[in-house]
Chain A
Amino acid sequence: MTPTPSLLKPEPYTPQRALYLFKNYADSDNPNVIGPEGFERLCAEAEIPMEGAMPLLLAWQMNASEMAKLTKEEWVKGTDIFKLSSLSALATALADLESLLIRNQKPLERSNKKDPYDRTQYWKYADDTKGAFHKFYTFCYNLVKPPQSRNIDMETSMAFWSVLLVPKYPIMTEVLEFINEKGSYKATNKDLWTMMLEFCTTVQPSLTDYESDGAWPTLLDDFVTWKRDKSSNGRPGNAMEH
């Protein structure tokens, strides 16, 4: 299927056009919802990679209540805030957020040229990228957690961490390696989810300031022990070479 040309063109925003865009991806049996299939098609046609953070940023900005699903109401509200009604504007908006929040790039320069979409929200985030990311990160937990469950399974949370935290915090690569190696952790509860970001943002990568007898969740205590053991085992070998 080839996208309709008019959807791609960076036309100026109108609510009608935004609604038209929605209808194009809405479920055949429920015109008020873009389901997983439509969501995927939307991303594909807007050239938004499914495996990165952009689909999550989209869900966040639309304040979606479920994964890979957008209701008409959410869509209308969301597109109105950003004043966007074309796939290219949508792709630009998400790419901007991704580079700001995930890739830690410098914010865009403000210019007099007309923006491809309304960047009011973007500038707000740029003023406090840490706070914005925290909101986004917390949003993701609720988005992915099954409604009846108290936690998310470890595999899913690892997939999310690799998208959300690995690009920002190199230590996360090792945390994931550790969890994989251990293989005994079953699930992530809200506390662990929250404390993982706290760990990434507050603890030195060398872990020298980590308090082993502090209030960190057990998984992080175990990780730190594991990493310290590993580096102390490695050290004598290095010393021999010198």
Chain B
Amino acid sequence: MTTASATRQRDTPFELLRKCITILLTKDSPEPLPATYEAIYRACQSVVTISANGEGLYDRLKIELERCLTRLVEELMNSPGQRGASMNVDGENHGSVEWLGQFVQICQWFEDQIVLLRSLLTYLDQVYVVATPGLLSVKDLAYSIFASNTFENWRIVERWQAGVKDWLSWERRVRLDHELRLYIPALVSHLVSHRQYANFEAYYIDITQEFYKADSEQHAETMKADPRDFFRHVRRRIEEEDQRSKDVLLAGSLAPVRVVVEKSLLEGRLDWISTTVGPYMEVNDLDSLSSMYKLFSRVGALKVLCAAFKGYMLTSVKTIVTDEVLDDDMVGRLLQLKASADVAIYGAFYDTKPSGGPSSASLSKAGTTSSTTQVPNKEFIYALSDAFTTGFKARRNKPAEMIAKYLDKAMRKGQGTSSDSAFEKILDDALALYRFTDDKDVFRTFYHRALAKRLLLEKSASDDFEKAMLKKLKENYDPEFGMGEEMFKDLALSKEMMRDYHSKLPWDSFGQSLSVVVLQRSAWPFIARDKTIDLPLDMQDELTRYAGYYKQRHSGHTLSWDHALGTATLKARFKAGTKDLSVSLYQGVVLLLFNEAEELKYDEILEATRLDETELKRTLQSLACGKKRVLKKVPMGREVENGDVFRFNADFDDPHPKVHINSIQAKVSPEESKRTQVSIEGDRKLSLDAAIVRIMKAKKEMTYEKLKAATIDAVKNHFVPQVDVIKKRVDALVENEYLERSKRDKNVFLYVA
């Protein structure tokens, strides 16, 4: 055979090339190449340059390529793609995925052959193709024929799509890497070589959307009891897809795939998911909150999240302020809520920006390596503030009152072992709540009264903190807190005057134990009272003496005594020993009566003290019915009746040498609150009247509508008036002829000079 062929006439170069092309383009060809690469290369040179038959060769190549593709497509279409039962996972048929392997293999083979062919046919490319306009190079020709037969052949497209879909669905369903996953990046790289990746990506995105729409539907149903489960599911899904994209797709596909995943999972469920804000905040789950913020931010739904946050805050604030049973803990609960909201805002609801100027640097978290800044989202800060402001309106006046009382407690207790700055933080946090209330006047009134008591009864833990607090209140919140300075001035002056007074008395005189505090009425929140109690004569004498002394120094001033605020320390001799009793002046005066008598009837005490009866009953109750009974009441009982008889209780004993007897007064604080509220209402009427008259005096005439708005504006720094109250004040001013209704237009009021 060898001899025979050797003797045969040598093929023409063209014929040789034709044969070689056929062999090269036949997969698993049984025939070896009849010539060396060098010889083939030369043959091509000869055909193209010597025979000038580039055209014939080119056409031949085209025909061979078409034939090759026909064979390849046939092979692909006939390939069942099944390697056997082992590929069946979960009983599923993975033939379609298997097929991808063959496809990849064929692509690879083809591409390899073309590389070779192209080198062998260099002269065709370099001489003929270059010189002939409109012709594709060997490679481009081959690829275009390959593409039109495979990527543009719907039968093939269907198969690779089926393979990709089956693979992807399996991975998404089983949530593991498919055994044949490696085919996908291989496929991708061939698709890229053939510029077919865009179609693939579009298809990938399509099926992703389809899958996740269904997935979202299904999970929303099974997890409808708790959107947090669903949210966790969403987070996991997004992570999985991100990872998969990184593993198998081009980097540019990461973002579009994630967009479609998020959109498909979340569409129509954002409101539902956002309801988890509350539950997450309750457990300080910053990780979930922050992930939710980022997610909502990416899908452009921060408004939804912010609304949910605000809704949660508002409901919580309302619940707290209207929970009358827990009024005493209102401020504590509000502070806790506010703190958790702040944690969420600064720890989750922020955007990260490259740090700019020094102004934003303060916000950056210490320890972050990159130079970025966390900027809390302003909308959330506003929402927080809105929620508190609106929530406080659910209960008029009360939050302001409770904040004032909370501060009172703090100022009495003092900083204890905590540092200055820690204590200041406690105060500042409470003041931050005060900012949210419309009822600024309520806060001021309660704070003022409590402050007055603290100062007079020396219950305040620290004068320095009191002064610092007043300064802050005055400068940052309400200039009317300037009255605090007057109060301190009064106390200092009184002390100084007392020292002077005592220094002028004999050292052993009764007057040495007198202490008087002179208060300017305008700076202190106490109402002038008529004479309330008859003091024992020697006490009264001391007061008269002091009054004389005072008059010498301040002839223009009038002193009036407020005994309800007075205190006294008595030495009492009981069987068990002598005790110092620290009591209110009322209690003291009543007790002193028992110096003269062992036993006194209620009526006798009443006559001797001439106290107001309810006041007297309260006082007796504190002495005879409380915990520390220095008087005995006959008959026994909790209430004091007109027929009762009182005796000195010589059997009284107490472990301490100094005994403080609480007056019942302290216990009736709800009643006192109510009285304060009433006086605030009265003050508000006056402020409204004054504001209306001031406005009308300036404007002379105004429609009711405008007057109303101007009035609300005029008092807004103190309180927010109710519209019907304004109208009543206008009615009253019309009646008192400060205003009159215009005859031309019933909606217009005129100022009456």
Contact = CB atoms under 8 A, between A and B. Distances in A.
Interface of A: 150-151, 189, 191-192, 194-195, 198, 213-215, 217-218, 221
B704 A218 contact: no
Interface string B701-744: 00111000000000000000001100110010011110011000
13 contacts: A151-B735, A189-B731, A189-B735, A195-B746, A198-B746, A213-B705, A215-B703, A215-B705, A215-B746, A215-B748, A215-B749, A218-B724, A218-B731
A217 B731 CA distance: 7
Contacts of B705: 213, 215
B747 interface: yes
B736 to A, nearest CB: 7
B727 A221 contact: yes
A191 B704 CA distance: 14
Counting chain B CB atoms within 10 Å of each CB, which of A191, A214, A215, A217 scores highest? Answer: A215
B736 A150 contact: yes
B688 to A, nearest CB: 14
Contacts of A151: 735
A215 B736 CA distance: 17
A213 B704 CA distance: 9
Contact of A221 (B724, B735, B747, B749): B724
Contact of B747 (A192, A214, A217): A214
Contacts of A215: 703-705, 741, 746-749
Contact of B728 (A150, A189, A218): A218
Nearest to B703: A215
Contacts of B741: 191, 194-195, 215
A48 B124 CA distance: 134
A228 to B, nearest CB: 15
Contacts of A150: 735-737
Contacts of B734: 189, 191
B705 to A, nearest CB: 8
Contact of B731 (A191, A194, A198, A214): A191
A34 B271 CA distance: 83
Contacts of A218: 724, 727-728, 731
Given A214-B747, A221-B724, A191 B735 contact: yes
A214 B704 contact: yes
Contacts of A214: 704, 747
A8 B428 CA distance: 90
Contacts of A191: 731, 734-735, 740-741
Nearest to B749: A215
A28 to B, nearest CB: 40
B696 to A, nearest CB: 14
Contacts of A198: 746
A150 B738 CA distance: 12
Nearest to B735: A189
A46 to B, nearest CB: 36
Contacts of B723: 213
Contacts of B735: 150-151, 189, 191
Nearest to A219: B731
Contacts of B727: 217-218, 221
A21 B519 CA distance: 75
Contacts of B736: 150
Nearest to A188: B735
A189 B731 CA distance: 9
Contacts of A194: 741
A152 to B, nearest CB: 12
A146 to B, nearest CB: 15
Contacts of B704: 214-215
A61 B724 CA distance: 40
A150 B752 CA distance: 15
Contacts of B724: 218, 221
Nearest to B745: A215
Interface string B474-502: 00000000000000000000000000000
Contacts of B746: 195, 198, 215
